[in-house]
Amino acid sequence: MDIKSDIGAKIKSLRTQQKISLETLAQQANLDFNQVELIENQKVVPALSPIIRIARVLGVSLSELIDEYQQSDPVLCLSGEANAGVSFSNSNMSARSHMNFFPLAENKEGRHMEPFYITIDPSKNSYQLSSHEGEEFIYVLSGAIEINYGKDVYVLNQGDSIYYDSIVDHNVHAYKNETAKILAVVYTPLV
């Protein structure tokens, strides 16, 4: 999936259909106008946080923006069948390029949780905190991760997990120059 063009095109289409200006969308999503414009014009790989905020303003679920098509129950993702990784970024385009998201329930119609298998490579970039509505659950499959959550820092090793409110500023990254693999479930409330 080309997340940059698919999401940008869907956002622009929905915004136009609903007769919402780019300025209004940015303001209601509490985002910088230039960031929304870059996402919509397919110039940046968007971060998960702004996409969730934009989805709320447009009155759609996150899955409606990131899925190619939707199907009803059940959706299986057998070993080795996860689609190619999706990279999310933020206003600093390289800030999250170290994370590759593999959706595990892609195309499930009407879902409120987004389960991902994520590989996290070490990064020399500075970490930028983000926040969005909802909750997250992370389980470390291998390696170790460091999570900045509000003013606290947590180190999780293989077998450890954490569940937190996503509205608090947070960042997840590899700990000590080693690749980590995690299972993450992101819950976003109904629009």
**DSSP output for 118-167:** EEE----SPP--B--SSEEEEEEEESEEEEEETTEEEEEETT-EEEEETT
Residue whose entry in the numeric block shows the structure tokens 């790989």: 45
Angle between helices 3-17 and 48-58 (to 10 degrees): 20
Mean pLDDT of 7-32: 91
pTM of the model: 0.69
CA 79 to mean position of chain CA atoms: 22
User: Distance between CA 1 and CA 83 in Å, rounded?
Assistant: 8
User: Distance between CA 12 and CA 20 in Å, rounded?
Assistant: 10
Q: Which H/E stretch holds residue 85?
A: none
On average, the pLDDT of the chain sits at 81
User: Distance between CA 141 and CA 34 in Å, rounded?
Assistant: 37
Q: What is the pLDDT of residue 181?
A: 96
User: Distance between CA 82 and CA 105 in Å, rounded?
Assistant: 9
Q: What is the pLDDT of residue 143?
A: 97
Phi-psi region of 155 (alpha: psi -120 to 50; beta: other; left: phi over 0): beta
Q: What is the pLDDT of residue 42?
A: 80
Mean pLDDT of 77-87: 61
Q: With 80 as the cut, is the pLDDT of residue 2 above it?
A: no
The HSE-up count of residue 5 (CA atoms within 13 Å, CB side) is 2
Distances (CA, A) of 21 to 7, 81, 139: 17, 39, 39
Contacts of 23-32 with CB under 8 Å at 24 or more apart are 25/54, 25/57, 25/58, 28/57, 29/53, 29/54, 29/56, 29/57, 32/91
Helix (H, G, I), strand (E, B), or coil: what is residue 35? Answer: helix
Q: What is the pLDDT of residue 92?
A: 46
